Structure 1
Amino acid sequence: MNDATTAAGPGAPVPSESAAPGRIVLLTTSHRVAPGLLSWPAWRTLRAADRVLCPDPDHPQLPYLREAGIAVEAGGELPSAEELVAYCTGDPGTGAGAGADAGAGAEAAAGGRTVVVVPSGEGEPRLTDGLARLAGSGRLRMPDLELLPASYDLPGARLLDLVQVMDTIRAECPWSSRQTSEGLVKYGIEEAYELVEAIEEGDREALREELGDVLLQVVFHARIAEEDPEEPFSIDDVAGTIVEKLVHRHPHIFGDEAAETPEDVKAHWLRTKAAEKRRESVTEGIPLGQPALALAAKLASRVRTAGLEVSLPSAAGDGDGFGEALLALAVRAEAAGTDPESALRSAARAYRDAVRAAERSD
């Protein structure tokens, strides 16, 4: 798209091939980064520009550009692609100076001018399409056309979009605006199980989608919590709490303690967690509503970690011994390093496949 040169027509002056062609720079910014935090190349280009154009009079960058002494022509319709090319190159064959301020035409005649366009949020398709059309025609000597990102999204920046969308949905959606955390419980459980299934199936696309669904539950509950009249908290409070917990429970990274093995890390974690919770029993904090095998394995893990000697219950409890037998298997699996819940799910999937195979053979 640079330096496309042809004759402008019979009798038309032809610019010198050695003359600077000028530049048209489309300066893009991210709405996820605070206004005014622009890259050094962006500030340097803005300060060196002959004209800075911004069609949006309410663009969030404008106050900061003006504070920095950048003269911005804001509001109104942008000059056409032909007008900007003429202004930058000084080629009278395109109507040099058209759309420019009074007296700018004489300056543009020399060429080598730089125009920076700060687009609105929707972009400037009329201008960019026009420039592409002119560059592709081969009839004009084009200025250098550049896309200059002035700010970049940081990792995790799209989370801000999620929070913003959730705010809008909570305010405007007839269904979402009426939901409570209690009413959303079943969805959280379903999404967690769907995530587990995606992991166990090794489906990467499903994994990405299900992680998003679980994340939505977190953001939804936090948004609802903001409205609590007595103890409100926000998604920032949720994130701040887990950050503090992670830092505190990793003293080998953020503190002075040492940990060379995964076992050392786990020991640190358990010590700091015990000090935080100040629990009187190793069973505290174990949710009884989780699946029975997972519950049994978690209890067994706590018992083993605490070094307790606890006898398994006898079959007198339920009369048939199935519960006690399943508990004993769960304890054995946990001691062997096998998650009994995952093991049973794997066996159940294999059983399902065998059922389907039997059905097809009939």
Structure 2
Amino acid sequence: MNTTAAAHSTEAAPGRIVLLTTSHRVAPGLLSWPAWRALHGADRVLCADGAHPQLPYLREAGVTVDEAAPTAEDLVAACAGGRTVVVVATGEGEPALTDGLARLAGSGRVSMPELELLPASYDLPGARLLDLVQVMDRIRAECPWSSRQTHQGLAKYAIEEAYELVESIEAGDRGELREELGDVLLQVVFHARIAEEDAEEPFSVDDVAGGIVTKLIHRHPHVFGDESATTPEEVKEHWLRTKAVEKRRASVTDGIPLGQPALALAAKLASRARTAGLAVPLPRGEGIGYTLLSLAAEAESRGTDPEAALRAAARTYRDAIRRTEGV
């Protein structure tokens, strides 16, 4: 090929457009190796957002970034001659630009450059929890209702949401289950955000998460330590043993909330006694309370949750009432 033909071939080469996306949930500058290679190898790097959090780190690494928002036509022209142009996408992902490139490609009027979408950083599992924390921070600061809430005032909502979660589980509704899990999670994050403002003993959602991580690791020595457990019963023994050491409780009944529903309370007491190997006879007395206590203990010994069993029966009763009413 002669020099003139080679020059013509170079000019005709359509080049390459790389749309570089990053996650705001990952610290700026922590990019993948393919992303850094593309940035350093590009003929030009563009970014429409002069305040993009990645820009200081790119420039520190020796990457020249032009603050520009080219149209699709401008970008295709910039790639002429086989050049590579990297576009550092803004948080919205540059929809106007990508739509314009799609229209150009569909028109058949121009020779399109090679198009590549290159994720430079990825969300780790659980990354959306960071969004929840940020949203809660803003709501706490700016919402007239949320900014005045206290632990005491929100307590009833935690109970309500927990019951709604149980109802969605028992109904087998996956969509409702996902929503109710979110509502329960909101209560945790809300209380943790309020706790940050305590003058004497503040703590944050990170302290809450750190505490439960430490607890889970300590109570699962068969996973994170040298002990072994091959059955659910052995796992439960590990859990109860380590919990007893942590809490330094004098009685197996310590830590059982007496304010929970009565059937659940009775079953929990029976479970603790049985697990501890205590042969404690049920108290005898007259009245429906003692009868219910006996039934709850019997259900627990059979592996049945008396609360769930009674709710199921109550729903059947409700349906019968509605049929009688013609509803």
Shorter-chain TM range is: over 0.9
Name the Cα RMSD after superposition.
Answer: 1.7
CA–CA distance in structure 2, aligned partners of residues 335 and 18 of structure 1: 82
- The equivalent residue for 1:12 is none
Q: Which residue identity lines up with residue 43 of structure 2 in the other structure?
A: D
- The equivalent residue for 1:233 is 203
CA–CA distance in structure 2, aligned partners of residues 279 and 343 of structure 1: 31
- The 4+ residue runs of structure 1 with deviation greater than 3 A are 15-20
Residue number among 180, 186, 198 corresponding to 1:216 in the alignment: 186
Give, in angstroms, the shift of residue 146 of structure 1: 1.6
- The equivalent residue for 1:33 is 26
- The equivalent residue for 2:126 is 156
Q: Confirm whether residue 350 of structure 1 aligns to residue 320 of structure 2.
A: no
Residue number among 283, 287, 292 corresponding to 2:253 in the alignment: 283
User: 1:50-129 to 2 correspondence within 5 Å?
Assistant: 50-74=43-67, 77-89=68-80, 111-129=81-99
Q: Confirm whether residue 339 of structure 1 aligns to residue 305 of structure 2.
A: yes
Q: Confirm whether residue 195 of structure 1 aligns to residue 186 of structure 2.
A: no
Tell me if structure 1 keeps the 8 A contact 2:10–2:82: no
- The equivalent residue for 2:138 is 168
Larger radius of gyration between Structure 1 and Structure 2 = 1
CA–CA distance in structure 1, aligned partners of residues 237 and 281 of structure 2: 25
Residue number among 201, 204, 226 corresponding to 2:174 in the alignment: 204
Aligned length: 321
- The equivalent residue for 2:102 is 132
Other structure's SS at 1:52 match = strand
- The equivalent residue for 1:259 is 229
Gaps of 5+ in 1: 1-14, 90-110
CA–CA distance in structure 1, aligned partners of residues 241 and 78 of structure 2: 70
Tell me if structure 1 keeps the 8 A contact 2:45–2:88: yes
Other structure's SS at 1:210 match = helix
Gaps of 5+ in 2: 1-7
Give, in angstroms, the shift of residue 310 of structure 1: 1.9
Other structure's SS at 2:255 match = coil
Other structure's SS at 1:117 match = strand
CA shift in 2, pair 1:322/1:126, >3 Å: closer
Residue number among 257, 262, 265 corresponding to 1:295 in the alignment: 265
1:261-313 CA distance string (max 9 Å, x none): 11111111111011111111111100011000000000010111112222222
Give, in angstroms, the shift of residue 59 of structure 1: 1.1
- The equivalent residue for 1:101 is none
Q: Confirm whether residue 49 of structure 1 aligns to residue 42 of structure 2.
A: yes
| Identical-residue share of aligned pairs (%) | 78
1:308-352 CA distance string (max 9 Å, x none): 222222225xxxx10000000111111111111111011111111
